[in-house]
Amino acid sequence: MTLPVFKKHSVPVVLAPMAGISDTVFRRICAEHGCDFTYTEMVSAKGLFYGGKKTRELIRVSDAERPAAVQLFGSEPGIVSDMIKAIADEYSGEIAMIDINMGCPMPKITGNGEGSALMRDVNKAARLMEAAVKASPLPVSCKFRKGWDEAHVNAVEFARAMEQSGAAMMTVHGRTREQLYQGQADREIIAEVVSAVSVPVFGNGDVFSGESALNMLEKTGCAGLMVARGAQGNPFIFDEIRAALEGAPYSPPSEYDRMSEAIRHARLFLEEKDPKLFPELRKHMSWYTKGMRGSTELRRAVNAVRSPEGLMKLLYRFRDTLEPENGENPAEGCGEE
């Protein structure tokens, strides 16, 4: 089955599916900065099966971020395949691919035999992939890790099983489940997977800059790059990586520009979602302002603020303290949101 077009770049750079982070607003902003492809947050197949309203809302994909994939997690082939059929029917033309999560390390996921727990039973994971591929009119991919732990590094075996079961592409995170997000991502294991299968393999783990993106490509020979934590509070990373890939100069944004994008992120969030959900913005604002002078005090204030209006005033006031560029007026719009 033909893979979706990744905006015609020879090396696609995509945004990882991050639970509680990769919502429609964040994905849109990353797409505007050069992200080639986005994934929804992890969507529970079982949650969809039982009609969970919040779960269904996670599937929505905006025009601004397409092409995009829906990432499902589950361990029961029947439920996963039924939900893939339902998604493909209801969202025909809106999504380009289905991705099966086989790499999430969180205990609440692995405890149910889902996410990276599937790496402990290759045959079970293969049956799940076969059912997903059979049910889907769209390409089906998967994301997995190096292995469960250092005593059970089986990414190559797992990748071969996924390819034989019909996976159209795969993404490998170069850490074990045991590592969570600690230590360094293993580029060598990703390279081994690339050599072991014929479908496209994307590399994931420790892509935090243009330099690290080039290193991932050089060390692994992967077909594309997936950015996760490197994009948190830093959608500009896609501009930086694209410049590095093209050998073009890159100037990082000023603190004023970073803060302006943070404010825009907050405004888009409040326009699109229930304003009562504004506390979800706290983590994003912390990431955007990391390392800025006065950010610790801002973070305390943001965590204590009780209204979206109060949040916006804090953000504008903080931007006023930063050095503007090109004659920009730092007070513009202050207190008006």
* List 35, 104, 142, 222, catalytic entry: 104
Residue type, 125: A
Checking DSSP bridges between strand 169-176 and strand 201-204, what pairing results, if any?
A: parallel
Contact 138, 95 (CB under 8 A): yes
Closest CA to 12 of 195, 272, 181, 204: 204
Rounded distance, CA 58 to CA 96, Å?
Answer: 16
- What string of DSSP letters covers 118-171? GGG-HHHHHHHHHHHHHH-SS-EEEEEEEESSTT-B-HHHHHHHHHHTT-SEEE
334 is catalytic: no
Pairing of strands 140-147, 13-15: unpaired
> Whole-angstrom Cα distance, residue 288 to residue 183?
23
Token pair 């990431």 is found at 287
What pairs with residue 202 in β-bridges?
Answer: 171, 224
φ and ψ at 39, to 5 degrees? -125, 140
Give the β-pairing of 68-73 and 37-39.
parallel
Instruction: Please identify every residue annotated as catalytic.
Output: 104
